């Protein structure tokens, strides 16, 4: 099927699409530090690359990614940019309301940043109660399909947090040319991702990495993860029942 990227379509293209399909993919990422070795685009680059593959396999329209998220806890690292939680809530609501206005009623929200999840869920609690015929799937790529099994087999007992071996592997599979693996470093100890602030994050994880050693990463493991996520997304989109036709 043709990959349908909204950024390359016209309104007439969308109008024609909506005569036969009401599905849409929205990607949410962030612009935040990813250790000394990965770029600020990591949390947007990965889910958008996945979504492009899913669009190509299913023909579902893919909108441009939302490249900013709830990253307040990363502000201790220069360059990180964040939305407030309440701002992200409103962004999600505004985009979904716009989509429904045009006739999109089945929407996959593919998320690339853990810090976005709470705000997105708040937004969904609001809009799904106001627009009962809207259907939304919220998926974070690292929780899908066989990803957990792949990473556990690669590095048994290792914790996969932020910019660790798992995420780094996926980045290497996509854009090894942007990775600075010569700079990769991490704190060996692991505590928690919960309740981190910009101060406690920088103090506890001075390299910006939480979890396993990113130097363990391989593009081969990353490709396995990508394939698993794409397969899971495609299966869910293709199995998603269409809305009953209006009587």
Q: How far apart are CA 118 and CA 126, in angstroms?
A: 13
Predicted local confidence at residue 191, as pLDDT:
62
DSSP 92: H
Residue with tokens 């947007």: 44
Task: Tell me if residue 162 falls in helix, strand or coil.
Answer: strand
CATH assignment at residue 234: 3.40.50.10310
Evaluate whether residue 246 is within a structural domain. Answer: no
Q: Which of 104, 94, 101 is CA-nearest to residue 20? A: 104
Residue 245 counted as domain residue: no
- Say how many domains are in the chain: 1
Instruction: Identify the segments of the chain with pLDDT beneath 50.
Output: 247
Q: Any idea which residue has 């806890």 for tokens?
A: 73
Is residue 244 in some structural domain?
no
pLDDT in the model for residue 194: 73
60: tokens are 């579902």
Question: 101: Cβ–Cβ under 8 A, 6 or more apart, which residues?
Answer: none
Give the position of tokens 């919960």. 194
pLDDT at residue number 247: 47
Helix (H, G, I), strand (E, B) or coil at 84: coil
Residue 146 lies in a domain: yes
Q: Determine the structural domain holding residue 136 and report its residue range.
A: 4-239
Residue 26 lies in a domain: yes
Asked if the structure places residue 108 within a domain, the reply is yes
């Amino acid at each position: 099927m043709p990959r349908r990227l909204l950024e390359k379509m016209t309104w007439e293209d969308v109008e024609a699409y909506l005569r036969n399909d009401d599905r849409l993919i929205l990607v949410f990422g962030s612009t935040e530090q990813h250790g000394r070795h990965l770029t600020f685009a990591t949390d947007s680059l990965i889910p958008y690359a996945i979504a492009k593959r899913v669009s190509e396999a299913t023909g579902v329209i893919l909108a441009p990614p939302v490249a900013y998220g709830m990253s307040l806890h990363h502000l201790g690292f220069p360059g990180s940019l964040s939305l407030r939680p309440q701002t992200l809530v409103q962004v999600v609501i505004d985009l979904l309301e716009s989509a429904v206005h045009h006739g999109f009623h089945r929407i996959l929200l593919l998320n690339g940043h853990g810090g976005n999840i709470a705000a997105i869920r708040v937004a969904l609690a609001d809009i799904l109660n106001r627009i009962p015929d809207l259907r939304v799937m919220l998926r974070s790529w690292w929780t899908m399909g066989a990803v957990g099994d792949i990473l556990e087999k690669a590095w048994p007992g290792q914790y996969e947090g932020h910019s660790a071996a798992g995420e780094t592997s996926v980045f290497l599979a996509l854009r090894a040319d942007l990775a600075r693996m010569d700079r990769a470093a991490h704190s060996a100890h692991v505590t928690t991702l919960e309740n981190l602030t910009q101060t406690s994050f920088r103090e506890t994880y001075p390299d910006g990495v939480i979890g396993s050693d990113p130097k363990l990463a391989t593009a081969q493991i990353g490709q396995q993860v990508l394939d698993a996520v794409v397969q899971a997304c495609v299966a869910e989109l293709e199995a998603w029942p269409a809305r009953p036709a209006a009587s």
